[in-house]
Chains A and B, each alone.
Chain A
Amino acid sequence: MHSQFRRRTAAVVTAVALMTGCAGNAPAAAPATTGSQPATTGSGGDTVRYAAPGSPSNAVTDPHGLLPGESDMVRMALTYDVLTVPGADGSTKPRLATEWQPDETLTKWRITIRGDAKFSDGRPVKAADALFSLRRMGKKAAENFGRMAMFDLDASKVIDDTAFELMTKKPYAEVGKALEGATFVVPEGSDDFGKPVPGSGPFRPTAKGGAQAVVFERNDDWWGPEPPSRFIEVRAVPDPQARAQALLSGQVDLAGGVPATLAKQQEGNSAVRLLRRPGATLYPLVMRMDTEPFDDHRVREAVRLALDRKQLLDTVFLGYGEVGNDLITPKDSSSPANLPERTRDLDRAKKFMADAGLAGGVDLTLHTTTAYPGMDSAATLISQQLADIGIRVKVSLEPADTYFSEIYGRKPFYLSYLGGIPFLDVVRVALTPGSPTNETAWKDPAWFADLDEALAERDDAKRSSLLADLQAKLRDQGGYAIWALSDRLDLAKAELSGVPEGIGFASAFIDQVSLDG
C-alpha cells in the first residue's frame, strides 16, 4: 500500500515538474506579489473572500443595466451608494437618501441626500448626481425591468446640492421602496462604463484581481459605519458545487447559494456555519388565464388544491424552506398574515374539474428547465400529483439559455422563477396588463383600480392593509400556484460575522462582514 502510494505520488510530482518546466519558459512571469500586500492574498484576517453566484465572463461594470449575476450586485453595492436599502424585515431603510417626503398629492417627492458623501475622486455627491443616475436607469429600462417606470424623470428636477424633486406619474406612496437596492449613484455625466466610474460606496475596487476576482479596499472616506475588514475579495463562481467546495477547502470565507444536498452534509461540521435566508426563492407554477383550460377559474383552483406542497418542499428543496400558500411575495412586509393554509384536497379538486366539464381529465404540457436547481424535478413531481385529478401532464424540459426569452410569458403552463423581490416589483414586471411580460394574463380592472387607490393612500397601516387585500385576491383568483418557498443557503467560515440578513437586494450589502467572530 505504502509503495503504491509513493509511486502514485511520484507520478503526480512528475506532472508538477513538467508544468514547472513550462512555467520556466513562460514569458513575463509577473514579479512575486506576496509581501507587498500580504493582506490581499491567502487567508489573512484582514481580507474576507466571497464566492458569489455569477459568471466572471459576463461581469458588468455598468450599475444601471442588467446585473446578470449576484456577484455583480455585490460588487456594485460595495462600490456605489444607493438611495435606500431594504431592511432585514422588509421595510425601507435610509442610505444615501436620508428623507423622502411627498407633497399632498403624493406625486411630487422631495428626496434629501446626505451632505457628507464623496466620490472616490474627491467630488462631493450631489442631488444632481442622484437624479442623473435615476434618469440613466430610466433610459436603460429594457435592461433593468423598467425599475423607474413609476417616475416622471423628465419632470423631476434638482432643488439644491442635497435635495431633488422626484415626480411620479400617478400618486405613489411607496417611493422609498421604489428607490431600494439598485439605485446606484454615479457622478453626473458618466457615460463610459467600460471601466468602473468613481463611486462613493464603502469600498473601492482595486486593480488587483484578474478575470475572476475583484479585490476591494475599504474606503476610509465613507460616511457610514466603518467596515471591519480592510479588504473584501469578490469572486464570481458559476457552479454552486464549486462555490461550496471552495469554502470547504478554505479557499474562500463565504460561499453564496450552495446546493441543499451539500448543506445537509455539513450539518454538524463546527468549522462552517450554514446561513439560511427564508423565502428567498420561489418557482411559481404559471397558468395563463387567457388560455384553455386555465381561463376557467375552477381549473386553476383545482390545480392549487391538487398540489402536495409538503412533498414538493421536501423533494425539491430537501426541506430547506416552507410550504407556500399561493402568495406571490409572502416575505413582503405588506403580505397578508393569518390566511388559512391551502392544503391538498383531492375531492374538492376533482369536483372543481367536473364542474368545469373536465371530469374525463385533460392533456397539458408543463414547461420547465434546469436554469435553477430543482426546477426540473419540481415539474416532474407536479405532473405526478396532478395525475391524481385527471390532469395528464407532459413535462417538457427546455434549454436554460432561452427559457426566459422563449417560454417565460409565452407558454400557458410553465414554472417561473422569482428571487426575493417585493410585491410592487412583481406587479411591475409580471402583472402589467397588455405587456408581454404579464405571464398569467392577469387583467382584472377592479384590482388595478384598487392598486391605484392603495398607492394613493398616505396612511402606512391603511395602505399596507389595502396591499394585503390585493395579494389575497391575487392568491385566490390569479394564475399562480406558489407551492413552496426555498431558503437561500450560504456556507460561511464559523468565525465569519456581519453577513446581512434578508433576501433579494438586502443580501448584497456585505460591507460589514468580518472574520474576527
Chain B
Amino acid sequence: MKTYSYKKSKALFQKAAEIIPCGIYGHFSPAPLIPVSDYPFYVSKAQDAHFWDVDGNEFIDYMCAYGPIILGYNNPVVESAAEMQREKVNCATAPGEVMVQLAQELVDTVTIADWAFFAKNGNDATTFALMVARAKTGRKKIIRLKGGYHGVQPWTQSPDHPGITFEDAENMLIGEWNNYEVLEDFVKKNPDQIAGIIATPYHHPTFEDNVLPAEGYWKKVEQLCHKEGIVLIVDDVRTGFRIDVRGSNEYFGFKPDLVAFCKAIGNGYPISALVGTNEMKEAASKVFYTGSYWFSAVPMAAALATIQELKENEVPAMLAEKGRELTSGLQKIAEDHGFHLKVTGHPAMPYLRLTDDPSLMLHQEWCGECTKRGAYFTSHHNWFISAALTEEDIQKTFEIADDAFKAVKNNRK
C-alpha cells in the first residue's frame, strides 16, 4: 500500500516555527503524534468524514477536529442554517433571535437544563460553572479529578507547569476517578468549604485506558453533593451529544446541577454552553461573564441545526454502532496478526491501545503506519466517530490497518 509524504506540511511548519510559538500550539501541537514524520500538520480541505492535507493526501478522519465534528465536515443542513443566518446577521450590537431559539432547544433537549448560557470554548463554560458554584454556595474549594481535562485556565492545570503558580491551585482538591471514598474524605476534612465537584461523565484521559463509571459511583456522588450542598458539575465538553442528546449524565443515570457543553454542539462552529437547573439560575445571573464573540448568531444557528439533526437521526446510537463495528473489526485484524488491541471508553469515542508493548511504542508505530496510509489515528487520545463515516470508510480503514500491521511486523524483523 502506498504511504504518504508531507513535504508541504513540513515546509509550512518550518515557517510557522519562526513566527508562532511552538509552530502549532496547544492540543493541535504535533508533538504527541508519534512519530511526527508519519503525520500531516496542515489541512487544506475537508468533507464528510475525510480531510485532505496541504500535500494532497486524503485521510479518513478519526479525530474529528478533536471532537467538534459530529455530523461530518460541511454537513449540508448545518451549513445551510449557518449561511441563512450569515445573510441576516452574525456579530452585531445585540444578540440575534436565534439565541433564544437555541436556549429553548437546549432546555427542551437536555434533561437537567432549565436555562442555557452561551460562550465560545469548553473552557469558558467549565470556568463559568466553577464561578456559578462559588456564587451559589459562597464557598471557595473545588474538587476535580486527576487526569480529567477541563481546559487550560490556571485552575485546570498542574501548578508546576510554566505560567501557573501554586496559588492558582490553592482552592483545588484533586480526587481520583471512581474513588468515592476520596471525595467523601475531602468533604469531611473541608466542612462547608467545597463549592463544587467537576468531572467528566466518564474518565477519558490521554495516554491511558479510558474508564467508565463504576456501578453506583455517580449516584453516590450525587447524593453526597445534595447532602452537603455541593454543586455537581459535569464537563460534557468532549462527550456531550455523542453519547446521549439529553446529556451524558442521563446515559449514566444521575442528575448534576450544571453541565458544560462545547465541541459537538456546533459541528465545527465556535460555540459552547453551560446549562443548569433552576436552583443555579440566580447564581448564574449574578456572575459577570462575557466575551466579544459570545453572541455571534451564526454559530448559534449552526448549533440549533446540529442539535436538531442529532435528535432527528438518533446520531448517538448511530455513532455507538459505527464505533463498535470499527473497533471490533480492528481487534480482529490485530488478533490475526498476533497482537492484542484493547478498546476502552464509549464506542462513539473509543480509546485504543496495543497491549503487547506497555511502553506504547508499538501502538504509536501502528497508529503512525495507519495514518500515513490514510486512516488518521492518534495514539495518545481517544478517537471520535462521526455520523458521516460510511461503511466504505470502515472497510477501507480495515484494509489500511491490516497493511499497517504487516509493516509493523516487518519493521521489527
Mutual binders A and B: no
